[in-house]
């Protein structure tokens, strides 16, 4: 029973890691680089939703505040690509790494100066509600987290598989030059992908905030999510989600049964094991690019 | 009617001048070939026309409109499709998705064009649900040409379609290129290392050397010229002593 209880909480946690990892993968595919500000985008998204929704702030209804926050963060992601990332197009990948780390600091500072550094709680209609049955307690926010993650993943999959822009985005990530010459506006697609990853980060942030207080430093969760993305293969959307769930489930179980601080290290231990045994990640794309 | 007219085009790779004032014309319905050795600037010319590289000087006019310096996606929308060197298909997408992406610049229905491509390349229809990365080199080349056709281009540019293909497959591909030109009236600009087959397929030819056009004319005339015979077709004339003359110079220098 105890194990099951831990696993359900871990699953919900893992969904959040997975969603942030999805953001990593999206941007890795579009810009061929890692956006280390992904965790901070999640944090900013959560705070924007909190600023719009909490009664002490703008006081919109939760169901209105969250979509608006998603739209705003889509704009932030889109703008970051448009204004900053596009300028360093063609520079070594390292430039993007440094740039996004710096951007993460900026986001943290912005959130800190607007909302302060004391933890705040996002007001939700389902706060503190639990379902009980058979000796297990499941909080409604856990259930919502899992449900939303499933829905969002399916939505993203459908977007890439069936829409014109989704197909173009796949093409651009597989062969940028070829995408250009068939008429795909690669730059515009990249902007959309950055926007999308901002939106996904916001969903992750709001889900995170439904489960506890937030402060501007929660973005550091992004490092764990990065480990999740690497476990999944840093180029695969289902892999990212699976990586997140693995980490989320192992963490609390290691915390309960393993000695010492092993729980905190567990994401990185798993990452190392995966990197040593399957360097391409669990969902590595199967064949190398032919030259 | 002239479809494409390039005048005094100069393109740089950093400090290296790859095109030193190239001028070519392509008329509607013909196949124009550009011959030249490695590093002559053939691919650079293609890339500059397609918008992948920006020219420093000179003009590119397509159907009377200047397209120099436009982004590649705008150039495709004008009606120029590039079949790039080395195929460059989308490896993880299916063949049909690859072909549908070829029509990305068009808003109208492209079911007819898909049928047309499958008619010319039946093997693609057979394997249309497979990932393009699993195709053989020749099939990928067919896919790349088919993808170019899907844009229903007014001008199709083929960069080195024989690259890495067996002689037999090369003949097959060039047979289809000639058929497309004759039956579908596709105007083509063709870059090719294999001068034999290029001169046999095309109507007009240019010779590009070190970034300059050094010879131009109908392909029959080019094929008959001594310089082309010796330096591109590899024919040796027997001298009185029955030996090859090593020091023979190209007459255009």
Q: Mean pLDDT throughout B148-174?
A: 92
d(CA A205, CA A213): 11
Residues of chain A with C-beta less than 8 angstroms from the C-beta of B84: 177-178, 181
Q: Mean pLDDT throughout B52-81?
A: 93
Helix axes A164-174, A140-162, angle to 10 degrees: 80
Q: Looking at residue B227, what is its pLDDT?
A: 83
Cβ distance of B82 and A181 shorter than 8 Å: yes
Where in chain B are the domains?
Answer: 2-88+153-231
Residue A48: how many CA atoms within 13 Å on its side-chain side? Answer: 28
Say if residues A243 and A41 touch (Cβ distance below 8 Å). no
Is A63 among the domain residues?
Answer: yes
Is the CB of B135 inside 8 Å of chain A's CB atoms? no
Residues of chain B with C-beta less than 8 angstroms from the C-beta of A185: 71, 73
Is the CB of A113 inside 8 Å of chain B's CB atoms? no
d(CA A256, CA A251): 9
Residues of chain A with C-beta less than 8 angstroms from the C-beta of B73: 180, 183-186
Torsion of CA A105, A108, A114, A120, to 10 degrees: -170
Say if residues A195 and A77 touch (Cβ distance below 8 Å). yes
Q: Looking at residue A21, what is its pLDDT?
A: 94
Nearest to A174 among B84, B90, B140 (CB): B90
Is A271 among the domain residues?
Answer: no
Cβ distance of A167 and B72 shorter than 8 Å: no
Residue A13, SS3 per DSSP: helix
Q: Mean pLDDT throughout B116-120?
A: 94
Is A57 among the domain residues?
Answer: yes
Low-confidence ranges of chain A (pLDDT < 50): 286-291
- Helix ranges restricted to H, A32-115: 38-53, 62-83, 93-115
Is A38 among the domain residues?
Answer: yes
Q: Looking at residue B164, what is its pLDDT?
A: 85
Q: Looking at residue B246, what is its pLDDT?
A: 61
For the ranges A181-190, B49-58, B242-251, the lowest mean pLDDT is seen at: B242-251
Expressed as residue numbers, the domain containing A37 is 2-218
d(CA A283, CA A245): 14
CA neighbor of B204 nearest in space, from B41, B31, B35: B31
Q: Looking at residue B79, what is its pLDDT?
A: 93
Angstrom CA distances, A291 to A11, B83, B85, B91, stand at 41, 15, 11, 11
d(CA B9, CA A277): 53
Which residue, among B48, B104, B131, B150, would best test binding to A if mutated, counting the most A CBs under 10 Å from its CB?
B104
The model's pTM: 0.84
Query: Looking at the 3D structure of chain A, how many domains does it have?
Result: 1
Is the CB of A89 inside 8 Å of chain B's CB atoms? no
Residues of chain B with C-beta less than 8 angstroms from the C-beta of A184: 73, 101, 104
Is A167 among the domain residues?
Answer: yes
Angstrom CA distances, B153 to A206, B181, B189, B200, stand at 48, 12, 12, 23
Res. B63: pLDDT tops 50: yes
CA neighbor of B22 nearest in space, from B58, B53, B72: B58
Res. B155: pLDDT tops 90: yes
Rg (CA), chain B: 19
Is A233 among the domain residues?
Answer: no
The residue length of chain A stands at: 291
Looking at CA atoms only, how far is residue A238 from chain B in angstroms? 16
**Helix, strand, coil % over all residues of chain B, rounded to 5:** 35, 25, 35
Minimum CA–CA partner of B147 in chain A: A182
Is A263 among the domain residues?
Answer: no
Q: Token pair for residue B196?
A: 């034999």
Cβ distance of A171 and B52 shorter than 8 Å: no
Nearest to B73 among A174, A178, A180 (CB): A180
Residues B222-244 pLDDT 10s? 988 888 888 788 776 655 565 55
User: What CATH number matches the domain at B2-88+153-231, 3.40.50.720, 3.40.50.300, 1.10.730.10, 3.30.565.10?
Assistant: 3.40.50.300
Is A196 among the domain residues?
Answer: yes
């Amino acid at each position: 029973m105890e194990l099951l209880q831990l696993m359900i909480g871990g699953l919900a946690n893992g969904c959040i890691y997975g969603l942030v990892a999805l953001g990593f993968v999206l941007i890795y595919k579009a810009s061929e680089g890692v956006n280390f500000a992904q965790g901070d985008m999640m944090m900013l998204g959560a705070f924007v939703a909190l600023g719009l929704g909490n009664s002490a702030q703008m006081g919109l209804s939760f169901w209105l505040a969250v979509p608006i926050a998603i739209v705003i963060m889509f704009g932030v992601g889109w703008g970051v690509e448009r204004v900053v990332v596009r300028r360093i197009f063609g520079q070594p990948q390292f430039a993007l790494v440094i740039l996004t780390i710096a951007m993460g600091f900026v986001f943290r500072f912005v959130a800190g100066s607007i909302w302060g550094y004391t933890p705040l709680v996002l007001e939700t209609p389902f706060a503190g509600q639990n379902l009980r049955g058979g000796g297990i307690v499941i909080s409604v926010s856990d259930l919502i987290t899992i449900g939303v993650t499933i829905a969002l993943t399916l939505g993203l999959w459908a977007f890439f598989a069936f829409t014109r822009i989704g197909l173009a985005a796949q093409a651009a990530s597989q062969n940028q030059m070829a995408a250009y010459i068939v008429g795909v506006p690669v730059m515009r697609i990249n902007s959309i992908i950055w926007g999308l990853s901002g939106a996904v980060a916001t969903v992750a942030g709001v889900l995170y905030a439904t489960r506890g207080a937030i402060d501007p430093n929660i973005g550091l969760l992004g490092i764990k999510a990065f480990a999740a993305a690497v476990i999944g293969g840093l180029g695969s959307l289902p892999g990212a989600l699976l990586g997140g769930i693995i980490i989320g489930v192992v963490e609390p179980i290691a915390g309960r049964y393993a000695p010492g601080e092993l729980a905190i290290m567990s994401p990185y231990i798993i990452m190392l094991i995966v990197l040593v045994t399957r360097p391409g990640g669990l969902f590595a794309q199967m064949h190398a690019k032919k030259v | 009617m002239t479809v494409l007219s390039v005048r005094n085009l100069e393109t740089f790779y950093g400090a290296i001048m790859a095109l030193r004032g190239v001028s070519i014309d392509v008329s509607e319905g013909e196949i124009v070939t550009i011959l030249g050795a490695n590093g002559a600037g053939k691919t650079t010319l293609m890339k500059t026309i397609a918008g992948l590289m920006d020219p420093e000087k000179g003009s590119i006019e397509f159907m009377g409109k200047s397209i120099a310096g436009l982004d590649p996606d705008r150039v495709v929308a004008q009606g120029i499709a590039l079949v790039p060197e080395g195929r460059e298909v989308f490896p993880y997408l299916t063949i049909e998705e690859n072909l549908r992406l070829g029509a990305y610049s068009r808003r109208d229905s492209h079911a007819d064009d898909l049928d047309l491509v499958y008619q010319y390349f039946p093997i693609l229809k057979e394997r249309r649900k497979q990932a393009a990365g699993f195709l053989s080199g020749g099939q990928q080349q067919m896919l790349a040409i088919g993808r170019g056709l899907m844009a229903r281009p007014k001008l199709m540019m083929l960069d080195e379609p024989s690259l890495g293909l067996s002689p037999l497959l090369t003949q097959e591909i060039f047979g289809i290129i000639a058929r497309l030109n004759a039956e579908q009236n596709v105007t083509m600009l063709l870059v090719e290392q294999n001068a034999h087959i290029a001169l046999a397929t095309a109507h007009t030819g240019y010779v590009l050397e070190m970034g300059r056009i050094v010879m131009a004319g109908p392909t029959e005339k080019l094929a008959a010229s001594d310089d082309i015979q010796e330096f591109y077709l590899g024919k040796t004339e027997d001298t009185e002593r029955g030996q090859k003359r090593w020091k023979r110079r190209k007459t255009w220098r």
